[in-house]
Amino acid sequence: MSLIRFDPAGALRPDSGITSAELAALYPQLDRLRRKLLAGDSAASADADANGPTGRLAPVDRFYGLPDELLARYRELREGSELGQIFQVANTIVHQLDAVVVLGAGGWSAGARAMLEACCDPYHNELSRASRGSRPRMYFAGDDLGNDAIQALLGRLSAGGYGVLPPDKRYAITVISPHGDNVETAIAFRQLLSHLRDSLGGESDKWLPKLVLPVTGGSGKLRDMATAIGCETVFDIPDGLHGPYSIFSPAGLLPAALLGLDCMRLLEGAATMNRHFESASPENNVVLQVLAFNHLLARKRGRSIRVLAVWCKELESVGRWYDRLLAESFGDFGLGGASRTRGHMRELPGRHPWYQPRGDDKVVNSLIVEQPRTDPLSVGRGRWNQDGLDDLADLDLTDILAAAIKGGHEALWADGHPTTALLLPTIDTHVLGQLFQLWMIATVMEARLLGMDPHDRSGLEQYETNLSHHLRRS
C-alpha cells in the first residue's frame, strides 16, 4: 500500500514561505525530539522553544503504540483480544437491529463520523438494509443541546427501517464518555435510553442489555449506569487517551466495525506510519515535514491559522476531526496552530475574501485524493450545448478537479498565501489509518517542541464549572 505523500512546494516561495536554511536548522532538533519520544523520555521537551510554557509532561503518548498493541494481541488471542471482542459484538448485533446512535462529545465521536463519511456510501443511511449489506444506519448525537435535532432523531428512530421484520424496528446506542460526566452526552443518553426502552415494550429486559454499548473508563457514572442496566458488554477507554486521540480505541473501532469497515487495515495503516516516522530521515519523513513546515510558518512568519482545504467532500469530517485535534491539544496557549477546515470546491469561489488580506496569519494546507474509488465520470456530450461545455466533453471529473486545484493554488500564491498539500493515494481504511496517525504524531511533536503537554485537560474544566453554576448544581 502506498504511503501518503507531502508536497511543500507552495510554502517554499520566497515571498511568503520559509527557506531551506530554516528547515535545515530545525531538522536536528526534530531528530533529537523524535528519539526522546520513542524512548519514552519524560524530558522530551528539553529542546523546546525558549518562549514556550513549561510544566510536567506525560512521558508516554498512549495513542502511539496502540495500533501495534491491538494488532499483536488479536493475532495472538483472536476472539480473546479486545479487537476480537469488538468484531464479535459488531458481527452479531448487526443482525438484530437496523440503526446505531453514537453518543459522544467533541473529539470522542468525531473519528467515527469521519470514517463513516469517508468510507461508506454518501447516502448510506438512505439505502435499504440489503444494499447496506445488513450494516446499520448510523446517527450521531450527544455533542450539543439543540432541542429540534434530538426531537428529529427520536422521530426518525421511531419510524424504524425500511422493512417489517423485528430487527428493522430496533436500534442500539453506543455511548462514549470516559467518566459519564459530560452534560450534553449524559442528557442525550438519558433521553435515548428512555425512548429505546419504551420502543422495546415487554422485551426491554431482554434487549436493553444487548443494545446499549458503553465505551468508558474503569470507573464513573457511565460505568455505574452500565452496571445498573446489566449491559452484556462494556468497552474500555485506555488510560491516557482523550478526545481525538481515542480514534484507535473502542471509541472509534466499535462504530467502524458496526459499519463493516476494515479495522485491521485501519490499524495497519497507523502502524505503517509509525514505522515510517521511526526510520525515515527528517528530509524524507512525511510526519516531520508536515510538522516542520507548519511550525516554521507559525513561528517565523506568524501564520498560525492552518486552513485545511479539503478538495474531496468525503473528507470534510476528517478535516473537522483534525480541527478538534489541534483545538484540544494546543488549547488557549496561542503558541500552536489552529485548524479551520474548508470544503474548497464549494467554498473557495464564495469565501476567497476570507483569505485576505495579503500577508495575514494563514497557511493553506490542501488534502488531495489522487485516485477515486469509482470509475471517473466524463463531462460527456449532450443534445444541447447552451452550457458551452462541448470543448470539455472528453475530460472527466478528475481532470476538471486537477485544474481547479492548480488554479486555486495559483490564486492563493498571487495573494501571498503559502500552501502545502497532503496527497492521499485513495480513500480507504489503510490510508485513513496513516492520516490519523500522521496528524496525531505531528501534533504531539509540535506541542512538545513548544514545551506544552498536548494531553492536559485542565483548561476544559472551566466550561463545565460555569455550566453547573448556571444550572444551580452543586
Residue 34 C-alpha cell reads as 523524535
Q: Which helix (H) or strand (E) element contains residue 180?
A: none
Asked if residue 245 belongs to a domain, the reply is yes
Residue 460 CB: number of other CB atoms within 10 A? 13
Q: Do 362 and 444 fall into the same domain?
A: yes
Asked if residue 305 belongs to a domain, the reply is yes
Question: Given 226, 244, 261, which residue is the final one in a domain?
Answer: 261
Burial group, residue 369, by CB count within 10 angstroms (0-12, 13-18, 19+): buried
Asked if residue 69 belongs to a domain, the reply is no
**Torsion sign (Cα): 25, 29, 32, 33:** negative
Q: Do 257 and 406 fall into the same domain?
A: no
Residue 309 pairs with which residues in a beta bridge? 342, 366
Asked if residue 463 belongs to a domain, the reply is no
DSSP letter assigned to residue 439: H
Torsion of CA 107, 329, 352, 313, to 10 degrees: -30
Q: Is the pTM of this model over 0.75?
A: yes
Domain of 162, CATH number, reads 3.40.50.10490
Q: Do 139 and 98 fall into the same domain?
A: yes
Asked if residue 472 belongs to a domain, the reply is no
Q: Do 88 and 176 fall into the same domain?
A: yes
Q: Do 29 and 101 fall into the same domain?
A: no
Q: Which domain holds residue 123?
A: 81-261
- pLDDT by residue for the chain (474 residues), tens only, comes to 799 999 999 999 887 899 999 999 999 999 999 998 888 764 555 454 444 433 333 445 899 999 999 999 999 999 999 999 999 999 999 999 999 999 999 899 999 999 999 999 999 999 999 999 999 999 999 999 999 999 999 999 999 998 889 999 999 999 999 999 999 999 999 999 999 999 999 999 999 999 999 999 999 999 999 999 999 999 999 998 999 999 999 999 999 999 999 999 999 999 999 999 999 999 999 999 999 999 999 999 999 899 999 999 999 999 999 999 999 998 754 556 677 887 766 665 545 544 554 557 899 999 999 999 999 999 999 999 999 999 999 999 999 999 999 999 999 898 889 999 999 999 999 999 999 999 999 999 999 999 988 887 766 677 778 888 888 776
Burial group, residue 472, by CB count within 10 angstroms (0-12, 13-18, 19+): exposed
Sheet bearing 212-216, strands edge to edge: 137-141, 99-103, 171-176, 212-216, 235-236
Residues 112-165: pLDDT tens digits?
999 999 999 999 999 999 999 999 999 999 999 999 999 999 999 999 998 889
Residues 321-368: pLDDT tens digits?
999 999 999 875 455 667 788 776 666 554 554 455 455 789 999 999
Question: Given 261, 283, 318, which residue is the final one in a domain?
Answer: 261
Instruction: Say if CB 438 and CB 290 are below 8 A apart.
Output: yes
Q: Do 131 and 193 fall into the same domain?
A: yes
Place of cell 468510507: 119
Q: Do 256 and 279 fall into the same domain?
A: no
Asked if residue 335 belongs to a domain, the reply is yes
Asked if residue 147 belongs to a domain, the reply is yes
Q: Do 305 and 419 fall into the same domain?
A: yes
Domain count, the chain: 2
Asked if residue 465 belongs to a domain, the reply is no
Q: Do 317 and 361 fall into the same domain?
A: yes
Q: Do 284 and 433 fall into the same domain?
A: yes
Residue 348 CB: number of other CB atoms within 10 A? 20
